[in-house]
Amino acid sequence: MNTTVLKPLFVTTIRNPRGAAERAIALNWPAQALWTALTLISVVTSAVVAALVQAAPLPEGDLGRLLEASPVYSSPLIFAATQWARAVFSVFMLFWIGRAFGGRGTVPDILAVITLLQAVSFVMVAGFTIVGLFIPFLSSLGLLVFIVWWMWAVSNMLDVAHGFDSPLKAFGVMVIAIFGVVVGLSIIMGVIGGLFAATTGAV
């Protein structure tokens, strides 16, 4: 991976996600490099989010107490680990569910497009956040634009990775995968929390 390849690929992802997905898969990056990149992006994103949350004043009332008790505020390392797990789960969920829908994508194909999408998303959100420090209205508008773009990009990139020839089917895979990741992580975190509580009580 080098800037000569990545810079135009970033721009293509924003303008033409399908073309970017085809290019990312064709580059045939080593899986180890992609997993490392996905981990790095997840950790950096978590660190930035945690820093922003802790730098801002807590709102008053129940919302403030809820935020203070959340991992993003009280346990940044746990928050980072959760975000990393979410990213890894997403790759496998998108692979399994896509295959169930008749897709032909492989784990490396899905990993390549998701890693690229995560990297581009981080850059875009960081840009909107910086702009929002000076012009809050543009930050809110930019976030709305990003959400719409993200759903469009994911649908088209998954469509290419799985060879569906139907972005609508890819969108359905994305929705089911998001639900599956949320449920899966909730169960895992519940088990971990229960074990931690049991250990603490025993001590």
pLDDT above 80 (res 59): no
- Per-residue pLDDT, 64: 62
Question: Which token pair is 183?
Answer: 């449920």
Alpha carbon distances (Å) from 31 to 23, 63, 64, 178: 16, 41, 41, 23
Within 13 Å of residue 145, how many CA atoms lie on the same side as its CB? 11
pLDDT exceeds cutoff 90 at 136: no
Q: What is the pLDDT of residue 175?
A: 93
CB 91, CB 110: distance < 8 Å: yes
Is 1 strand, coil or helix? coil
pLDDT tens figures, 2-15: 567 778 899 999 99
- pLDDT exceeding 70 applies to what percent of the chain? 79
Q: Which two tokens stand for residue 199?
A: 């250990």
Q: What span, in angstroms and rounded, lies between the C-alpha atoms of 95 and 98?
A: 5
Could you give the maximum distance between any two Cα atoms of the chain, in Å? 57
Mean of pLDDT values over 50-55: 71
Task: Supply the pLDDT for residue 3.
Answer: 64
The residue among 184 and 100 whose pLDDT is bigger is 100
Check: pTM over 0.95? Answer yes or no: no
**Confidence bin at 103 (pLDDT 50/70/90):** very high
User: Percent of the chain beyond pLDDT 90?
Assistant: 47
Question: In angstroms, rounded to a whole number, what is the distance separating the alpha carbons of residues 12 and 153?
Answer: 11
Residue 104 has pLDDT above 90, yes or no: yes
- Rounded Cα–Cα distance for residues 110 and 163 (Å): 11
* b (16+ CB within 10 A) / e for 177-199: beebbeeeeeeeeeeeeeeeeee
